[in-house]
Structure 1
Amino acid sequence: MNISHFIDYSIVAPSTTEHEIIDHCYNAKKNGNYAVTLNSCYVPLAKQLLAGSEIKICATVGFPFGFADTKTKIFEAKTAINDGANEIDMAINLGYLKSRNYVSVLKDIFEVKRAIGDVPLKATIEISELTKNEIIKVCEICMDAQVDFIKTSSGFAKGGATLTAVKIIKKTVKNRIKIIASDGIDDYETILKYIEMGADLVGTNANVMQVNKTQQARNSKIFKQYIENLEKKDNPNSNTDIITSKTTELNN
């Protein structure tokens, strides 16, 4: 399975340099990732670097803690779009959610979505800070606010995505909102697990390369032949020769 198009390739560390953005966009183009997610100040640079590609540019808004007021988030989002962003990744206001001020949570998200129109909005909900019931509640709010994606984590909290959280989100939103499992996912096998669980995209800052399926198939074929030859041989000395021969093949 080609996982490249499922990867939202993120680089949002506070110390991110221009040189790192250049390398990041180069890797995204080389791997054919779905999008690059970065802080809004680097949107113009990313637009230049990714010109001619289908890779989306996603700008962060209210990151990482979501405490900026709604007007500030709207201004930041609109500026990023004018600079070339194709998507907006907005951190929700966890303080409002924890206060059970659900009206303010909804208003904050909905006003940003309304301001950016058809531009996809990703709502980062920070699952490591939430109980199961809070995850369900914020998912319901996101559906009412008409967001396009729910993202599990910003990368700045105490924990990242979990399979359990993705399962809860998927059960709640079904197919109404897409899911981004983000943070703490940095290898091919783990990405596959999240996709199989229901994630539509996986957010990672790791340069995950596609697994070489041709080499895997070759090694499997060699091992199968090795087993078949062992079964045909009754002479232990012959078995030793086969083991030595096949081990040499696998190592080449």
Structure 2
Amino acid sequence: MSLNKMIDHTLLAANATREQIARLCDEAVEHGFASVCVNSCWVGACASRLAETDVNVCTVIGFPLGAMSTAGKAAETEAAVSDGPDELDMVINVGWLLAGEDDLVRRDIEAVVAAAQGRCVKVIIETCLLSGEQIVHACEIAVEAGASFVKTSTGFSTGGATVEDVALMARTVAGRCKVKASGGIHTAAEAEAMVAAGASRIGTSSGLAIIGA
């Protein structure tokens, strides 16, 4: 698969405008990216603009902190689904994970998976806040809860994806779900290293630079 087909072309800035979102969609079509990844207020616009293409619409849930209520995440997912996304990237409750409240973490993910009604759900575990052991544990919970992918990072915390973390995640899930590397990936060399480590998808706002467009 080409690197282009692995890229989630991302614009999650608070000040993103309708014009910028339209351009994001057009760039994704032109360069054959996997998806556009946008905040949920733009899902309807993207779904309409991309309706006759093979570019997916991805949105984020519980973003970027993951610390809202499970009911809130489920409601956000239901509202987003009504606007037509193909994929949803949700943030786990990192505080619950660190406190050993595994059942709450699992139910949080399960609620979003259920509300997504069969759509691809990527579970962001925010690796920069976790030890290796905690990364493994988060991946196991995500797999148990029905995740389609585990994802490294929001890109809004203290760090992004590393090759080591992606490799650890890939070994842990062992084909039971896929791995998305996201956060701080700006060059083709960085993206290719993440793929070599086991990532099936690259989340980045630097897609054009990565492919040399």
Classify the TM-score, shorter chain: over 0.9
Q: In structure 2, how many angstroms separate the alpha carbons of the residues matched to 1:147 and 1:33?
A: 22
Measure how far apart 1:187 and its partner are.
1.5
Flag the 1:106–1:158 CA change in 2: closer, same or farther, 3 A.
same
Q: Which runs of 5+ in 2 are unaligned?
A: none
Contact kept in structure 2, 1:11 and 1:37, CA below 8 Å? yes
Runs of 4+ in 1 over 3 A off after TM superposition: 208-212
Letter in 2 for 1:28: A
Q: Which residue number in structure 1 is paired with residue 153 of structure 2?
A: 153
Q: In structure 2, how many angstroms separate the alpha carbons of the residues matched to 1:210 and 1:136?
A: 31
Measure how far apart 1:109 and its partner are.
0.5
Q: Which residue number in structure 2 is paired with residue 43 of structure 1?
A: 43
- The alignment's C-alpha RMSD in Å is 1.4
Measure how far apart 1:23 and its partner are.
1.4
Judging by fraction of residues, say which structure has more helix.
1
* Matched residue SS, 1:208: helix
Q: Which residue number in structure 2 is paired with residue 189 of structure 1?
A: 189
Q: Which residue number in structure 2 is paired with residue 162 of structure 1?
A: 162
Q: In structure 1, how many angstroms separate the alpha carbons of the residues matched to 2:33 and 2:209?
A: 10
Which one scores higher on RCO, CA 8 angstroms, separation ≥ 6? Answer: 2
Measure how far apart 1:14 and its partner are.
1.4
* Matched residue SS, 1:184: coil
* Matched residue SS, 2:16: coil
CA shift digits 1:78-120 (9 cap, x unpaired): 1111101111111110111111111100111012112223111
Letter in 2 for 1:88: L
Q: Which residue number in structure 2 is paired with residue 179 of structure 1?
A: 179
Q: List aligned pairs for 1:208-227, cutoff 5 A.
A: 208=209, 210=211
Contact kept in structure 2, 1:2 and 1:210, CA below 8 Å? no
Measure how far apart 1:210 and its partner are.
3.4
Q: Which residue number in structure 2 is paired with residue 29 of structure 1?
A: 29
Contact kept in structure 1, 2:57 and 2:85, CA below 8 Å? yes
* Matched residue SS, 2:37: strand
1:113 aligns with 2:110: no
* Matched residue SS, 2:147: coil
Q: In structure 2, how many angstroms separate the alpha carbons of the residues matched to 1:201 and 1:104?
A: 27
Given the two structures, how large is their TM-score scaled by the length of structure 2?
Answer: 0.95
